[in-house]
Structures are given as structure tokens and as C-alpha cells.
Amino acid sequence: MQGRPQALPFVILGVFTILVVGAIVLSLWTAPRVDDQQLHIAATATLDASGFVVVDTNSVTAPGSGASASGSQTIVVNVLYQAPDAIEESETGPGGQTGAVILIGARRFRESGGQWTELAPTPGLGVRVVRTIQSPLRAASGAVVVSRHGDLYRFVPKGLHKFLTSVLGVRPSQVSSPLLTAEVQGEFLTHEQITALVGAQRLTVDLVFSDIGSAPPVEAPPTSSPVPGSTSGAAGTP
């Protein structure tokens, strides 16, 4: 009769061990994976930088063909971003034509023929454009599925279809075989690519980030012929 109470501590210890093991398994199951964390940290670091330069190459090609194939198109947009709401953007179209705009808060400037003109201000425009430029970084930062091969991360963001619609400009029902990848160098996300098939064409958005945290400031250009409603004294920095 005296042996039964002596067994009680071992029973308690056994139950405690099971509970501890269960807690460890649960924590491993619910904790973010290392790949997810690394991608999140790198994307967030680029997002939080004081500025960066991004080369945005948009292309449409037939599957299995190169970018120079007949019918393919490529547009390259160079963007200089300065927090919180300043953007300088220059674009080269398929025919080699160029154009440039500068947004600083509500102020808008457009370049044509080497001359800059200040347009009527649009409150909140800078914030909206910055949000668009940052959306691929936010998608990578909030990715729900991540796999890694070296410095390259393949990921699926929250609201994948909505994101693809905003980036590629097509309806979710038109998109198939989407692939999103990101490259991390050091502490930053430095390269991101979004690609998908739309019918018989492949749409690709290729983003290369550089000068992260060390980009030059966005400045208002000297202007001529400001339109009615534009800010007076447009020349110089606002």
C-alpha cells in the first residue's frame, strides 16, 4: 500500500514532460519560418529606407521567345523615391520615346522637349504614387508562403489575385501560372520579379532596387509656363 503514493511523482513528471513536448511542437508549428522572417525583414528594411532608386522593366513576350522577338514590347521606367512622398520618374517607351515627371507632395512637374512645366497641384497624389511603388515590397513583406534557394525567395503574398490585378492591370480570371520572386542582398530586398501568363503572352514586371538609404533627394526643377492653379515661384526646391 505504501508503494502507490511513491509512484505519483513519476506520473506527474510524465504528464509534465508530455505537456512540455506538446508546447514545443506547438511553438514550432505556429512560429514564423526562418525564410519567411528573412524575406519580411529585408523587404521591410527597403520599405523603411529614406529613399531608393528602382528600375522597373515591364515586358510582354510570347512564351518561349526572347524579349527581342516579333510582337514583344518592353517599357523601362526609372524611379527615384525620397520619403515620404517625393518621386522622380523617367520612362523609355517601346519606340525609344522618353518622358519624365516629378511629384513632391501635391506638386506636379512634367518634362517635354527638355522643358519642365509645373501643373496644377493634386493633394495626396504623392502619397498615392508612393503607395503604388511600394506595393511589391509590401507584398513580399507580408508573404504567406515562402521558399528559398540561396539568395532567391519564391513567395505568395496575401490577396494574390488582387495584387496581380493591380500590378499587371488584368482581371484575375485572365491570369495563369503566376510566379513571384525576390532577391535579398545583405539587409535589403534588392530585386523582385512578378510574372504571369495572360492568354498566349507572358507579362513580366522586373524591379531592381539600388542606392537604398543613400539615394539623392528629389528636387523641383526650374520650370517655364506654369499652368493656372500651379504653385507660384516653382523654380527651386519647395
Q: List, in sequence order, the alpha helices (H) in the chain.
A: 3-30, 34-47, 125-141, 160-168
CA angle 132, 58, 156 (to 5 degrees): 60
Q: Where are the domains of the chain?
A: 3-31, 35-85+123-210
pTM exceeding the 0.85 threshold for the entire prediction? no
Above 90 in pLDDT, residue 204?
A: yes
Confidence (pLDDT) at 74: 87
**Rounded CA gap, 77 and 48, in Å?**
22
How far is C-alpha 215 from the geometric centre of its chain's CA atoms? Answer: 17
pLDDT digits (tens, 9 = 90+) for 21-44: 555 444 444 445 788 899 999 999
- The grid cell for 21 is 513536448
Angstrom CA distances, 149 to 152, 159, 183, 193, stand at 5, 24, 10, 15
Confidence (pLDDT) at 151: 85
Above 90 in pLDDT, residue 234?
A: no
Residue 223 vs residue 175, higher pLDDT: 175
Confidence (pLDDT) at 199: 86
pLDDT digits (tens, 9 = 90+) for 75-94: 899 999 999 999 999 987 66
Mean of the pLDDT values across residues 104-130? 91
Residue 98 pLDDT class (50, 70, 90 cuts): confident
Mean of the pLDDT values across residues 211-225? 89
Above 70 in pLDDT, residue 127?
A: yes
Mean of the pLDDT values across residues 184-203? 94
- 3-class SS shares of the chain: helix, strand, coil, % to 5: 30, 35, 35
For the chain, how far is it from start to end, CA to CA, in angstroms?
Answer: 91
